[in-house]
């Protein structure tokens, strides 16, 4: 029972050590919605902690980590930390290369890079990236992200003064967002404010502002409310309405102070450093646990080997003892079988020629007929086993017998 329990413990320990982890199931659309909602409510720290948990989970697949890094990039982008956004986008690309969704991940990351280059006004990198876009692969891109990409294309036409084409792009983007995610409509209406400001169409510019500001307030997204107000500042300046421009600028300054993007981005970097430190400590602790587990298993195996050795030795001794007992029993049975003939057999000294046997020989014969073994005879006569064997050989030769049973 003990050895069975020991084997069970060893097997269980090895199984726990060697059992592979299976990938967890993540609803990527739900994850994006959750992170987006947290960011919209200025809870970027919670977003980061949740995403870091996925990235550092041993059960996360490369595709899981790709999505987590992608959402981290969008979190930093919303706080205007484009360096961190691009770093996480690169991490997302590397994880995507390890997955079975390379075309999808490459396409989505390319579009996100285009949007960041546009925000940073990196015109050269922007145009080079747009050349790499394969329209046949755009179905991999989320509708709201596609709307932002269309907005960028419209802005490029706007810079070329192709205002009709630009307006067409903006309207297409608005249609996509109305169907998919209206909370991002301020992005497109901001672009339309610029367009109508260029066209000197005050009515349409005001309508675009009212709609964009309405959606920013409806969904409570501070950054969109700020960008809409900033667009109106430019609108008023273009129309030499500095009084309204100044009033809106005061609102923007207050909104910016409350939003505090730079400070919150710094907090995110600090949280990320703390999470990294915690992860390193956890990995070190896990490594120690694994090492201890290896030592534990080795000790159990050595104990098992030693126990099996002792068991084998005990079994061997037991077998020898049984064989000895059987040998003794055989002699006793032979003695009992011949006891009935005792009356018919004359004393040894009268039935054989004793002149050839020495007194010691006669004593040994007497002890043999009593059923004693060589060892017992040696003990009775205070001689060695080998001496008994030597005397028996001499007795066999004199009496011309070949075995103990014949002698008896």
Which position has the higher pLDDT, 340 or 191?
191
pTM: 0.58
Q: What is the pLDDT of residue 322?
A: 82
Q: What is the pLDDT of residue 28?
A: 92
| Residues 57-66 pLDDT 10s | 999 999 999 9
Q: What is the pLDDT of residue 276?
A: 60
Give the confidence band of 265 by pLDDT, cuts at 50, 70, 90: low
The residue-averaged pLDDT of 21-41 equals: 80
Q: What is the pLDDT of residue 98?
A: 94
Q: What is the pLDDT of residue 261?
A: 62
Residue 378 has pLDDT above 60, yes or no: yes
Give the confidence band of 377 by pLDDT, cuts at 50, 70, 90: confident
The residue-averaged pLDDT of 235-261 equals: 81
Residue 204 has pLDDT above 70, yes or no: yes
Which position has the higher pLDDT, 236 or 332?
236
Q: What is the pLDDT of residue 114?
A: 96
The residue-averaged pLDDT of 165-184 equals: 93
Domains of the chain, first to last: 1-100+261-307 (no CATH), 142-259 (1.25.40.10), 349-407 (1.10.10.10)
Give the confidence band of 264 by pLDDT, cuts at 50, 70, 90: low
The residue-averaged pLDDT of 97-103 equals: 94
Mean pLDDT of the chain: 83
Identify whether the C-beta of residue 191 lies closer than 8 Å to the C-beta of residue 204: no
Residue 82 has pLDDT above 50, yes or no: yes
The residue-averaged pLDDT of 221-250 equals: 85
Q: Comparing 7-21, 192-206, 334-348, which segment has the lowest mean pLDDT?
A: 7-21
Q: What is the pLDDT of residue 312?
A: 86
The residue-averaged pLDDT of 142-155 equals: 94
The residue-averaged pLDDT of 336-353 equals: 51
Residue 140 has pLDDT above 70, yes or no: yes
Residue 108 has pLDDT above 70, yes or no: yes
Q: What is the pLDDT of residue 19?
A: 41
Q: What is the pLDDT of residue 254?
A: 81
Q: What is the pLDDT of residue 272?
A: 60
User: 263, 188, 197: which is closest to 227 by C-alpha?
Assistant: 188
CA distance 65 to 57: 9
| Residues 163-174 pLDDT 10s | 999 999 999 999
Give the confidence band of 68 by pLDDT, cuts at 50, 70, 90: very high
- Provide φ and ψ at 299, rounded to 5°: -60, -45
Q: What is the pLDDT of residue 278?
A: 57
């Amino acid at each position: 029972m003990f050895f069975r329990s020991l084997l069970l413990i060893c097997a269980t320990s090895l199984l726990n050590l060697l059992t592979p982890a299976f990938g967890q199931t993540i609803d990527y659309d739900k994850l994006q919605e959750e992170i987006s909602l947290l960011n919209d409510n200025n809870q970027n720290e919670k977003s980061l902690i949740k995403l870091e948990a996925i990235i550092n989970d041993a059960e996360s697949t490369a595709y899981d980590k790709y999505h987590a890094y992608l959402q981290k990039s969008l979190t930093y982008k919303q706080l205007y930390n484009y360096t961190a956004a691009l770093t996480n986008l690169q991490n997302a690309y590397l994880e995507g290369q390890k997955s079975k969704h390379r075309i999808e991940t490459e396409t989505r990351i390319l579009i996100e890079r285009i949007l960041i280059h546009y925000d940073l006004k990196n015109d050269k990198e922007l145009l080079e990236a747009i050349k790499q876009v394969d329209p046949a692969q755009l179905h991999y891109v989320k509708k709201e992200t596609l709307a932002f990409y269309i907005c960028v294309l419209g802005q490029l036409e706007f810079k070329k003064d192709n205002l009709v084409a630009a307006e067409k792009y903006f309207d297409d983007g608005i249609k996509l967002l109305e169907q998919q995610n209206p909370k991002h409509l301020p992005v497109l209406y901001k672009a339309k404010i610029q367009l109508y400001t260029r066209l000197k169409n005050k009515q349409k510019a005001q309508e675009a502002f009212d709609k964009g500001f309405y959606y920013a307030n409806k969904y409570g997204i501070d950054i969109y409310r700020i960008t809409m107000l900033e667009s109106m500042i430019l609108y008023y300046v273009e129309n030499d309405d500095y009084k309204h421009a100044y009033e809106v600028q005061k609102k923007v300054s207050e909104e910016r102070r409350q939003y505090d993007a730079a400070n919150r981005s710094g907090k995110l970097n600090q949280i990320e450093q703390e999470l990294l430190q915690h992860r390193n400590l956890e990995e070190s602790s896990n490594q120690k646990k694994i090492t201890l587990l290896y030592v534990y298993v080795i000790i159990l195996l050595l104990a098992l080997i030693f126990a099996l050795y002792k068991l084998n030795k005990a079994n061997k001794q037991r077998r020898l003892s049984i064989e000895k007992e059987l040998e003794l029993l055989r002699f006793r049975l032979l003695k009992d079988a011949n006891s009935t003939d005792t009356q018919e057999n004359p004393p040894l000294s009268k039935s054989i020629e004793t002149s050839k046997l020495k007194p010691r020989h006669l004593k040994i014969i007497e002890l043999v007929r009593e059923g004693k073994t060589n060892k017992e005879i040696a003990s009775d006569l205070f001689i060695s086993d080998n001496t008994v064997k030597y005397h028996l050989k001499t007795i066999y030769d004199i009496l011309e017998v070949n075995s103990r049973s014949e002698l008896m």
